[in-house]
Amino acid sequence: MFVIGSGGKHLEGELRELGGEIIEVELRKFPDGEKYVRVLGSGDEATAVSSTFAPQDEKIVELLLIGDALREKGFKKLRAVVPYFAYSRQDRVTKEGEPVSVRAVMKALGIYYDELYIFDLHNPETLKYFPGRGVNVSPARVIADYFREKLGDGIVLAPDKGARERARAVAEELGLEYSHFEKRRISPTEVEMRPVDIDVKGKNVLIVDDIISTGGTMVKASEILRKLGAGKIFVGVTHGVFAEGAIERVSRAVDELAVTNTIPTPVSKISIVPEILRL
């Protein structure tokens, strides 16, 4: 049974359509801005579904309140599905006095939830901070399915070495070659990018990554691929954390930009709901 938080409302309709059983929950705000949560169903096990996109802190507190409400109603086993996990990029101390923010959030959720499922976590190793069972869920299957016919006998690329495993996962679903861009500094102000050991000439290319924000890297990569004679260029990303104007910038540079619906955006064309139902 699913309890849908405010960060999962955009997924609720499809969850219902595909057979997910939904526990009704009342979510509202008091006049002073505090959240009010009331779980209206009962049972032994429940899965709370809510992404923590902006306003992030509000959605995190809401997840904690949902967990407390479910425990208060007597639910014995709780899972949290957080498609987009806020603070995931704040995973280390860079200056003395800073917190490891992702650790703080995971530990807080661990007070109530036995299991935590996150889609394409920026650094999967940070799941060690969650006290219970933590799972990094790959969106490779749904991304591959969306681009399968469009890409044809193409190539899957990661924008850098760090995202190479994401490219590999999507490429294996498609049965295609994969590689990554290598960055090389050629002057104090200029960086060269080039695909490693792969010929893109005449080939359609799919660039995959976990998060897209400003879109600058994707625009640069597409410019390079055009110069190398690539065919159609597609961008498929898990989390669309778009800065102002990013969607337009990337869309002008490539043949199609599509992200999953971990965060609702105008280009959230790939649904993760089938993957949620498989958990």
As annotated, the active-site residues are 183
Secondary structure in 3-state letters for 48-68: EECCCCCCHHHHHHHHHHHHH
Give me the amino acid identity at 1.
M
How far, CA to CA in Å, does 190 sit from each of 107, 171, 207, 227? 41, 30, 22, 17
Measured between alpha carbons, how far apart are the two ends of the chain, in Å? 12
Query: How far apart, in whole angstroms, are the C-alpha atoms of residue 24 and residue 148?
Result: 37
Inter-residue contact 262 to 49 (CB < 8 Å) = no
Query: How far apart, in whole angstroms, are the C-alpha atoms of residue 218 and residue 29?
Result: 39
Residue 43 backbone phi and psi in degrees, to 5 = 160, -170
Backbone CA torsion sign across 227, 233, 238, 239: positive
Tokens linked to 98:
């800073």
Query: How far apart, in whole angstroms, are the C-alpha atoms of residue 117 and residue 278?
Result: 12
Angle at 184 (CA atoms; ends 182, 190), nearest 5 degrees: 125
